[in-house]
Structure 1
Amino acid sequence: MTAVQKHFFGAETFAVVGASTDKSKFGNKVFMWYLDHSKPVTPIHPKEPSIESVPALTSLSALPSPKMTSVSVVTPAKVTLSVLKEAKELGVWAVWIQPGASDDACAEWIKENEMEDKVIYGGPCILRDGEAVMALIGQ
């Protein structure tokens, strides 16, 4: 577990950018992980009105309290970069970029903007690592 992973779970609420209605996609699997672990989660999708019967928002800027929200990102890397920029602007609590959702440009932006203490990227997956982190911090 890293300090960033521990910080991530200190948020009051969570959101999944790239949540999907398609159960075969990781956007749905990650969103369901939060529901299955009784975490207060909001799906973020530009077109879908709801995901798994939970009302969706169209962007991070629609979150009622982004400064208290940790965000999982399951989008193409080019979209992820814009999500990172919006998250920084809004003061989002923390971001967990799921495997395959980032590239070198995202990693470079994270470093240039000194976001390494708020962004998990480069391999860890909430589906694989989330339960272990929560157990270590008593959740």
Structure 2
Amino acid sequence: MDAALKTFFSSPRFAVAGASSDPAKYGHKVFAWYLQHSLPVTPLNPRSPTISALSKEHTTTPSPTALSDAPSYSLSVITPPAVTKQLLKEAKEAGIPAVWLQPGSFDNEVLEYAKNEFKAAIAGEGGRGGEGWCVLVDGEEGLKAAGRDWSRL
């Protein structure tokens, strides 16, 4: 998984599908994690033109295919499995090379698709948490694997 982590965090940009203004939701927590680590991140949300995080409004993008220069992004996914499947198809079409499927965002079919269709897919069993690979738990190790010292960003 180190190679996948390195690939994921070597991208110059990141997007979070399922980003939310609600601080109780994981889409909000993951988006805020990227902001707190000074990483260039775009929230994806087809239902809202902006979301609020860390006391600031952030303009959303509706889908992976709407990202400017999509192949330069890695995508974190925090959506239900039925939504994730369509989202991954759009991400593949857009040329996004790496995805991180948060716990609860995939089923076996979605996981298999991600592993077969992307250069790097982080999901499933593993990581330091009890529920599988999670940006909130394993992200800093991924940054280190990619040679990014976030404390200096």
SS of the equivalent of 1:57 reads coil
Q: Is the 8 A contact 2:73 2:96 kept in 1?
A: yes
Task: Select which of 114, 123, 138 maps to 1:110.
Answer: 114
Q: Shift of residue 93 of structure 1?
A: 2.4
| CA deviation vs aligned residue, 1:24-55 (integer Å, no higher than 9, x gap) | 00000000000000000000001111122110
Task: Select which of 114, 132, 135 maps to 1:126.
Answer: 135
Q: Shift of residue 82 of structure 1?
A: 0.6
State yes or no: 1:137 paired with 2:115.
no
Q: Which runs of 5+ in 2 are unaligned?
A: 125-131, 149-153
Looking at structure 1, the residues matched to 120 and 66 of structure 2 have their Cα atoms a distance apart, in angstroms, of 20
Give 1:31-42 correspondences, 5 Å limit: 31-42=31-42
Q: TM-score, normalised by structure 2?
A: 0.84
Match of 2:83 in 1: 79
Q: Shift of residue 117 of structure 1?
A: 3.5
Q: What is the number of equivalent residue pairs in this alignment?
A: 137
Identity, in percent, stands at 47
Looking at structure 1, the residues matched to 138 and 112 of structure 2 have their Cα atoms a distance apart, in angstroms, of 24
- CA distance change for structure 1 residues 109 and 133 in 2, over 3 Å: closer, same or farther? closer
Q: Which runs of 5+ in 1 are unaligned?
A: none
After superposition, the CA RMSD in angstroms is 1.3
- CA distance change for structure 1 residues 136 and 108 in 2, over 3 Å: closer, same or farther? closer
State yes or no: 1:91 paired with 2:95.
yes
Q: Shift of residue 116 of structure 1?
A: 5.6
Match of 1:48 in 2: 48
- CA distance change for structure 1 residues 136 and 103 in 2, over 3 Å: closer, same or farther? same
Looking at structure 2, the residues matched to 135 and 77 of structure 1 have their Cα atoms a distance apart, in angstroms, of 29
